[in-house]
Chains A and B, each alone.
Chain A
Amino acid sequence: MRVARWLVAIAILLILPPLLPSFLVVVMTEIAIVALFATAFNLLMGFGGMVSFGHAAYFALGAYAAAILVKQAAWPMLLGLAAAPFAAAAGALFFGFFIVRLTHTYFAMLSLAFAQIVFTVVFKWKALTGGDDGLLNVWPPAWLKSPLAYCYFTLVVVGLAMLALHAIVDSPFGYALRAIRENPRRARFIGVNVRRHQLQAFVLSGFFSGLAGGLFAFFNGSVFPDFAYLNKSFEPLVVALLGGVQSFFGPLAGAVGFKILETYIARQWPIYWPLFLGAAVVFVVVALPQGFVGLLQRRAWRTRTAR
């Protein structure tokens, strides 16, 4: 039954893209990338109880690593993309070493501070990053250049990454991570080295955020310093909140909702988009603290118990 449901989902994803108008193929690709970024972020927030306000740092490190290697060092695109998560994980290891020493607000603020440092370095180091002008013409090779080909490519990469993240959440590592979220003190007394475990989660989250960044670099064809800016850091937070941080697929649902709303509302009334987004976040936080997925689960539970 569960396998059948998965096969249907995969079949739909495979059949759908050629049937969509080309601009929706582009939207779908972006949804997949945002979903990966938000799911990686939610490994920390939903499962580890650590709220980062600076995850754009790892997205940007991945995007810039891929772009710089392809543009400045003439690496092939696939190698550049493969390097992206490792560059981001290295950054996450270094920054995370300091960040996981703190908790709650201080954790959030220090993660934000490090992201601002990444932003400043990217902005100022013109020779390597192009500064404010960014790096342009970061395109994939000819066989991936069409939106449809890149959409399929992204779906496969994101699908595999989501599978890995799902396995991590359900693994012994994930159980211990949830135990830390619930009760760090008790976790210490059952033998978990809490700081070390949190740092490992931080690095894993950075790794997959960097992969999302790398995918986005070739999707966008260029990279800019805003990839490391505050707005980008809040994107996975908003997406995860919309979809629900308590469930693994919440951020995925949030990404679908967020991007579809953005596509239709931001294009129609660009100046009202932030107002609308703000109102949507307030509504979700107040009325649906478990997000959309939480709402669905609650309804499913009700129908099951009603029977």
Chain B
Amino acid sequence: MADPDGSLVLQVVGLRKHFGGVQAVNGVDLAVAEGELRAIIGPNGAGKTTLFNLISGDLAYDSGQIYFRGEEINGLPPPELCRRGLARTFQITSIFRRLSTLENVQTALLTHHRRHHNLFRPARRLYRDEAMVLLDRVGLVDQAPKPSGILPHGDQRRLELALALASEPQLLMLDEPTAGMAPRERHEIMALAAGIATDARLTIVFTEHDMDVVFAVARRITVLHQGAVLAEGTPLEVRGHPEVQRVYLGQRRGTAR
């Protein structure tokens, strides 16, 4: 077993998870350095979302190790990982639908600052300005008072990004951040995430189906296939990789430039 490398934000060693007879994640190794913008791609069922759920503490894994900033995080629950600086979004938009857009972000900030056990202070006025700053960053200032559930889909995805950013993470994991968006919007939101990552010097790992988006922003790409890493490298290397072309890109020549 490899020693954890402290310079890596995220290190995954020999990770395995099966559901019944299906080996969803089958010995994945992954090393993500600080400040990386890493894409994880692969056909449907390659194990991308399962890998995300294992790393973020949403699912228990069968064997292997996960190190976050050099510390083993085996079995830590999501709230604890969030406190340590790991945030994520979900493939299916996950927000607090009947709270206003502003309240969504305020709640995330209150929790991040560990004020959510306070019983008698009106929360309305707490972290309001900070929340507006975050909403401004994702372009939702005008939507602040609206119930988040009635926002257009793209705005809901932006809100979820703001929720993840509220905890001032060091590692941000985005599970298909552009799912269900129009092509132009996809590039916008990925450019937004990439810009924020550079400004805040945070590391992003994301999965994505749209190859245009992937090749536009990712600096390194990991290709998963049948629960294992098939290839890893710069966009150029991955594109030229014969196995990748065979199992993945070749099938979607239409979307790969």
Contact = CB atoms under 8 A, between A and B. Distances in A.
Nearest to B121: A171
Contact of B79 (A174, A175, A182, A188): A188
Contact of B121 (A172, A179, A181, A185): A172
B2 interface: no
B122 A171 contact: yes
Interface in B83-111: 83, 87-88, 90, 94-99, 103-104, 106-108, 110-111
Nearest to A197: B116
Interface string A177-203: 011011101111111111001001000
Contacts of A170: 122-124
B214 interface: no
A189 B87 CA distance: 7
Interface string B54-88: 00101000000000000000000111001100011
A167 B111 CA distance: 18
B22 interface: no
A292 B97 CA distance: 23
Nearest to B87: A189
Interface string A146-183: 00000000000000000010011011111110110111
B116 A183 contact: no
B253 interface: no
Chain B interface size, under 10 / 10 to 19 / 20 to 34 / 35 or more:
35 or more
A290 to B, nearest CB: 12
Contacts of B58: 185
A175 B119 contact: no
Interface in B109-163: 110-112, 115-124, 126, 163
Given A189-B78, A192-B79, A183 B97 contact: yes
Contacts of B167: 190-191
Contacts of B10: none
B116 A175 contact: yes
Most chain B beta-carbon contacts within 10 A, residue among A164, A181, A192, A194 = A192
A171 B118 contact: yes
A172 B118 contact: yes
A197 B78 CA distance: 15
Contacts of B103: 175, 178
Contacts of A186: 90, 94-96, 163
B54 to A, nearest CB: 14
A198 to B, nearest CB: 13
Contact of B117 (A173, A188, A194): A173
Nearest to B166: A190
Contact of B116 (A168, A176, A182, A204): A176
Contact of A176 (B82, B98, B111, B163): B111
Contacts of A191: 79, 82-83, 108, 111-112, 167
In this complex, the member of A170, A179, A194 whose beta carbon has the largest number of chain B beta carbons within 10 angstroms is A179
B166 A172 contact: no
A175 B78 contact: no
A199 to B, nearest CB: 12
A277 B218 CA distance: 62
Interface of B: 56, 58, 77-79, 82-83, 87-88, 90, 94-99, 103-104, 106-108, 110-112, 115-124, 126, 163-164, 166-167
15 contacts: A167-B120, A167-B122, A171-B121, A172-B118, A172-B121, A175-B103, A175-B107, A176-B111, A182-B98, A185-B90, A188-B78, A189-B56, A189-B88, A190-B82, A191-B79
